[in-house]
Copies of this chain bind each other. A is one copy, B any other.
């Protein structure tokens, strides 16, 4: 199959509307967007590499979903409404079954968000997926990492940590019962970008980022860029792990609802430093507590307050007695040895 046949067969949808704001899609030297006059265009680009971001045997449908999801998650984190995206794809070979499933997974998510594929590139090479996504946000309303204020509450959407536990299972470091693993794996392989929540938080959140490299790392970006620090409550943070474990409370032991067990250390590590959840971490004034809950309700996305922004730089995680925990927790770094 040739390059242009491949694009025509799997990535061109002549019957599919491109949506408002897209004037020209695939097939010319450039695509053309017609942005709403006065709006800001939010842009993000993520590259996924086999062996680094996914395993060679990953379900291609899930991979198509995830490659777009991680980009939509960046739009969510700045409160933008998705418009369109480009896809650049290096493939070892043109495998029709693989491409069909990959495209289906990608377009299913794209259609949920009215986000049209408008262009890109395909070439032969080690498997590599680079998506660049475009969204609109009104002037002055983008959620930035730099806006957190001393006294703000720190929130996290949904649940975090399950993706990291699923990765540990895939790497053979941990075992879980099948049902629990299936739920955790869903979080790893088919994350849900919090696009509606991000838009609902415009004018409410003071800062936001998506949790891609882990809570400590991504909240760390907010703290650094806002010139503030924070304290997180370990007990509240540990409740964020959903599929794999629940606290048994006073005993300090953690057991899965489905009789799978993970260690307290892995539990805390997964919640605080596990990547790949694609939830939002954001800050908001306590005065906006009700507005945050209303945004969560309107967007159908639960949010949890797990700490506060403080003037003292750095990130502290404390137990119920106010004592520091989790000294060894580190965020994911793509140039550090593989976290697996």
Interface residues of A (CB under 8 A from B): 1-4, 6, 23-24, 27-35, 37-38, 40-53, 74-75, 77-78, 80, 86-90, 93-94, 118-126, 128, 130, 132, 134-135, 137, 139, 142, 144-146, 208-210, 225, 333-336
Contacts and interface: CB of A to CB of B under 8 A. Distances in A.
Given A3-B335, A27-B145, A30-B77, 5 more contacts: A2-B335, A30-B43, A32-B78, A47-B123, A122-B334
27 contacts: A2-B336, A4-B333, A23-B40, A27-B145, A28-B78, A28-B144, A29-B75, A29-B209, A30-B43, A30-B77, A31-B43, A31-B44, A32-B42, A37-B37, A43-B118, A43-B119, A43-B134, A45-B120, A47-B88, A49-B126, A49-B128, A50-B125, A51-B125, A52-B123, A52-B124, A122-B335, A123-B334
A88 B53 CA distance: 14
Contacts of A87: 45
Nearest to A32: B40
Q: How many copies does the complex hold?
A: 2
B49 A90 contact: yes
B6 A335 contact: yes
Contacts of A80: 30
B45 A334 contact: no
A225 B31 contact: no
Contacts of A37: 37-38
Contacts of A126: 49, 125-126, 128
Given A29-B74, A32-B41, A124-B52, A47 B335 contact: no
A238 to B, nearest CB: 26
B45 A132 contact: yes
A47 B3 CA distance: 13
Interface centre among A32, A208, A336 (most CB of B within 10 A): A32
Contacts of A78: 28-30, 32
A226 to B, nearest CB: 12
Contacts of A89: 47
Contacts of A1: 335
